[in-house]
Protein backbone atom coordinates (compact mmCIF):
# COMPACT_ATOMS: atom_id res chain seq x y z
CA UNK A 1 0.00 0.00 0.00
CA UNK A 2 1.16 3.55 -0.65
CA UNK A 3 -0.08 4.70 2.75
CA UNK A 4 1.35 3.66 6.13
CA UNK A 5 0.86 4.97 9.61
CA UNK A 6 3.55 4.90 12.29
CA UNK A 7 3.54 6.21 15.85
CA UNK A 8 6.32 8.56 16.83
CA UNK A 9 7.11 9.98 20.29
CA UNK A 10 7.53 13.76 20.32
CA UNK A 11 8.09 14.26 24.04
CA UNK A 12 5.00 15.60 25.79
CA UNK A 13 2.61 14.59 23.04
CA UNK A 14 2.39 11.80 20.49
CA UNK A 15 1.73 12.43 16.80
CA UNK A 16 0.99 10.14 13.90
CA UNK A 17 3.07 10.36 10.74
CA UNK A 18 1.33 9.58 7.47
CA UNK A 19 3.80 8.37 4.88
CA UNK A 20 2.96 8.79 1.15
CA UNK A 21 5.73 7.44 -1.04
CA UNK A 22 8.93 8.79 0.47
CA UNK A 23 7.40 11.87 2.07
CA UNK A 24 6.18 12.22 5.67
CA UNK A 25 3.35 14.43 6.76
CA UNK A 26 2.72 14.99 10.50
CA UNK A 27 -0.89 14.39 11.35
CA UNK A 28 -2.59 15.15 14.65
CA UNK A 29 -5.75 13.19 15.22
CA UNK A 30 -7.51 16.22 16.66
CA UNK A 31 -6.91 18.33 13.56
CA UNK A 32 -9.97 18.57 11.30
CA UNK A 33 -7.91 20.25 8.59
CA UNK A 34 -5.43 17.37 8.50
CA UNK A 35 -8.24 14.82 8.35
CA UNK A 36 -9.68 16.63 5.36
CA UNK A 37 -6.24 16.66 3.75
CA UNK A 38 -5.83 12.91 4.31
CA UNK A 39 -9.22 12.13 2.76
CA UNK A 40 -8.40 14.31 -0.25
CA UNK A 41 -4.94 12.72 -0.61
CA UNK A 42 -6.51 9.26 -0.73
CA UNK A 43 -9.07 10.41 -3.30
CA UNK A 44 -6.38 12.02 -5.45
CA UNK A 45 -4.34 8.83 -5.55
CA UNK A 46 -7.27 6.50 -6.02
CA UNK A 47 -7.40 5.26 -9.62
CA UNK A 48 -10.70 5.69 -11.42
CA UNK A 49 -11.15 3.74 -14.63
CA UNK A 50 -11.90 6.12 -17.52
CA UNK A 51 -15.09 5.84 -19.55
CA UNK A 52 -15.02 3.53 -22.56
CA UNK A 53 -15.06 6.48 -24.94
CA UNK A 54 -12.09 8.10 -23.18
CA UNK A 55 -10.25 4.77 -23.11
CA UNK A 56 -10.90 4.33 -26.83
CA UNK A 57 -9.60 7.83 -27.52
CA UNK A 58 -6.41 7.17 -25.56
CA UNK A 59 -5.87 3.87 -27.35
CA UNK A 60 -6.21 5.55 -30.74
CA UNK A 61 -3.80 8.34 -29.81
CA UNK A 62 -1.29 5.79 -28.53
CA UNK A 63 -1.54 3.83 -31.80
CA UNK A 64 -3.44 0.96 -30.18
CA UNK A 65 -6.02 0.31 -32.84
CA UNK A 66 -9.12 -1.84 -32.92
CA UNK A 67 -8.94 -2.55 -36.64
CA UNK A 68 -10.86 -4.91 -38.89
CA UNK A 69 -8.95 -8.17 -39.17
CA UNK A 70 -7.75 -9.44 -42.54
CA UNK A 71 -9.91 -12.53 -42.05
CA UNK A 72 -13.06 -10.47 -41.42
CA UNK A 73 -12.36 -8.36 -44.50
CA UNK A 74 -11.81 -11.41 -46.71
CA UNK A 75 -15.16 -12.90 -45.59
CA UNK A 76 -17.11 -9.72 -46.39
CA UNK A 77 -18.73 -8.69 -49.65
CA UNK A 78 -16.63 -6.50 -51.92
CA UNK A 79 -18.29 -3.17 -51.08
CA UNK A 80 -18.24 -3.77 -47.33
CA UNK A 81 -14.67 -5.09 -47.46
CA UNK A 82 -13.59 -1.87 -49.15
CA UNK A 83 -15.24 0.19 -46.42
CA UNK A 84 -13.57 -1.89 -43.71
CA UNK A 85 -10.18 -1.32 -45.37
CA UNK A 86 -10.91 2.41 -45.50
CA UNK A 87 -11.46 2.36 -41.73
CA UNK A 88 -8.12 0.63 -41.21
CA UNK A 89 -6.37 3.12 -43.49
CA UNK A 90 -7.88 6.08 -41.63
CA UNK A 91 -6.64 4.94 -38.23
CA UNK A 92 -3.25 3.89 -39.58
CA UNK A 93 -2.66 7.39 -40.98
CA UNK A 94 -0.90 9.48 -38.33
CA UNK A 95 -1.56 12.64 -40.36
CA UNK A 96 -5.30 12.66 -39.64
CA UNK A 97 -6.32 15.62 -37.49
CA UNK A 98 -7.37 15.22 -33.85
CA UNK A 99 -10.72 16.79 -34.71
CA UNK A 100 -11.50 14.11 -37.31
CA UNK A 101 -10.33 11.33 -35.01
CA UNK A 102 -12.36 12.62 -32.07
CA UNK A 103 -15.52 12.81 -34.17
CA UNK A 104 -15.04 9.28 -35.48
CA UNK A 105 -14.46 7.92 -31.96
CA UNK A 106 -17.76 9.48 -30.87
CA UNK A 107 -19.72 7.80 -33.66
CA UNK A 108 -17.90 4.48 -33.39
CA UNK A 109 -18.58 4.27 -29.67
CA UNK A 110 -22.25 5.17 -30.22
CA UNK A 111 -22.64 2.69 -33.09
CA UNK A 112 -21.59 -0.28 -30.95
CA UNK A 113 -23.89 0.81 -28.11
CA UNK A 114 -26.82 0.93 -30.54
CA UNK A 115 -25.90 -2.41 -32.14
CA UNK A 116 -25.70 -4.15 -28.76
CA UNK A 117 -29.00 -2.59 -27.71
CA UNK A 118 -30.73 -3.89 -30.85
CA UNK A 119 -29.34 -7.38 -30.23
CA UNK A 120 -30.46 -7.37 -26.60
CA UNK A 121 -33.93 -6.08 -27.50
CA UNK A 122 -34.39 -8.86 -30.07
CA UNK A 123 -33.15 -11.58 -27.71
CA UNK A 124 -35.26 -10.43 -24.77
CA UNK A 125 -38.52 -9.57 -26.54
CA UNK A 126 -38.26 -11.54 -29.81
CA UNK A 127 -39.20 -8.34 -31.60
CA UNK A 128 -37.24 -5.77 -33.58
CA UNK A 129 -36.81 -2.29 -32.10
CA UNK A 130 -37.92 0.77 -34.02
CA UNK A 131 -35.95 3.85 -34.95
CA UNK A 132 -38.07 5.85 -32.52
CA UNK A 133 -37.33 3.41 -29.68
CA UNK A 134 -33.56 3.66 -30.21
CA UNK A 135 -33.70 7.45 -30.54
CA UNK A 136 -35.61 7.72 -27.26
CA UNK A 137 -33.38 5.22 -25.46
CA UNK A 138 -30.16 7.06 -26.29
CA UNK A 139 -31.73 10.54 -26.34
CA UNK A 140 -30.65 11.07 -29.95
CA UNK A 141 -32.07 13.25 -32.66
CA UNK A 142 -32.95 11.12 -35.66
CA UNK A 143 -30.55 12.96 -37.94
CA UNK A 144 -27.61 11.69 -35.85
CA UNK A 145 -29.09 8.21 -35.57
CA UNK A 146 -29.74 7.95 -39.31
CA UNK A 147 -26.08 8.70 -40.12
CA UNK A 148 -25.31 5.36 -38.50
CA UNK A 149 -28.36 3.45 -39.74
CA UNK A 150 -27.93 4.56 -43.37
CA UNK A 151 -24.37 3.22 -43.30
CA UNK A 152 -25.64 -0.13 -42.01
CA UNK A 153 -28.43 -0.22 -44.59
CA UNK A 154 -26.02 0.59 -47.43
CA UNK A 155 -23.82 -2.41 -46.65
CA UNK A 156 -26.60 -4.85 -45.79
CA UNK A 157 -25.89 -5.03 -42.05
CA UNK A 158 -29.52 -4.26 -41.24
CA UNK A 159 -32.85 -4.28 -43.02
CA UNK A 160 -35.71 -1.88 -42.45
CA UNK A 161 -39.19 -3.24 -42.00
CA UNK A 162 -42.30 -1.11 -42.48
CA UNK A 163 -44.50 -0.42 -39.47
CA UNK A 164 -48.05 -1.52 -40.25
CA UNK A 165 -49.60 0.44 -37.40
CA UNK A 166 -48.10 3.74 -38.53
CA UNK A 167 -50.61 6.35 -39.63
CA UNK A 168 -50.46 7.28 -43.33
CA UNK A 169 -50.19 10.99 -42.53
CA UNK A 170 -47.26 10.41 -40.15
CA UNK A 171 -44.20 11.47 -42.14
CA UNK A 172 -41.66 10.93 -39.36
CA UNK A 173 -38.80 8.54 -40.12
CA UNK A 174 -39.58 5.30 -38.35
CA UNK A 175 -39.27 1.60 -39.12
CA UNK A 176 -38.30 -1.64 -37.43
CA UNK A 177 -34.57 -2.40 -37.45
CA UNK A 178 -33.72 -5.99 -38.40
CA UNK A 179 -30.14 -7.15 -37.94
CA UNK A 180 -28.76 -9.07 -40.94
CA UNK A 181 -25.26 -9.66 -39.59
CA UNK A 182 -24.00 -11.45 -36.48
CA UNK A 183 -21.44 -8.76 -35.73
CA UNK A 184 -20.73 -5.11 -36.47
CA UNK A 185 -17.47 -4.31 -38.28
CA UNK A 186 -15.50 -1.15 -37.60
CA UNK A 187 -16.71 1.55 -39.99
CA UNK A 188 -16.23 5.26 -40.61
CA UNK A 189 -19.34 7.40 -40.13
CA UNK A 190 -18.23 10.97 -40.78
CA UNK A 191 -15.38 10.61 -43.28
CA UNK A 192 -16.72 10.49 -46.83
CA UNK A 193 -14.69 8.89 -49.63
CA UNK A 194 -12.77 11.40 -51.76
CA UNK A 195 -15.03 10.91 -54.78
CA UNK A 196 -18.07 11.66 -52.60
CA UNK A 197 -16.53 14.98 -51.56
CA UNK A 198 -15.99 15.87 -55.22
CA UNK A 199 -19.63 15.16 -56.04
CA UNK A 200 -20.74 17.25 -53.09
CA UNK A 201 -18.73 20.24 -54.32
CA UNK A 202 -20.20 19.86 -57.81
CA UNK A 203 -23.72 19.91 -56.37
CA UNK A 204 -23.14 23.13 -54.43
Residue pLDDT, tens place only, 115-147: 999 999 999 999 999 999 999 999 999 999 999
* pLDDT recorded at residue 173: 84
For 51-70, what is each residue's pLDDT tens digit? Answer: 555 555 555 555 556 899 99
Contact assessment for residue 84 and residue 96, using Cβ atoms and an 8 Å cutoff: no
Domain boundary assignment for the chain: 3-45, 52-203
| Helix (H), strand (E) at residue 170 | none
Helices 98-125 and 52-61, packing angle to 10 deg: 140
Handedness of CA 16, 19, 24, 25 (dihedral sign): negative
DSSP-assigned letter for residue 136: H
Amino acid sequence: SQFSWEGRSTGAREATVVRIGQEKYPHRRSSKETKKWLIQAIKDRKYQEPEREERLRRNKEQNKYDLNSAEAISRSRKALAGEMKRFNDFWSDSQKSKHKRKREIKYENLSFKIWNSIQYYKESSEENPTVQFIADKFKLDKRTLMIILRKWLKYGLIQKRKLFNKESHDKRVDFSIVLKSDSLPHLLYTQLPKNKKIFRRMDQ
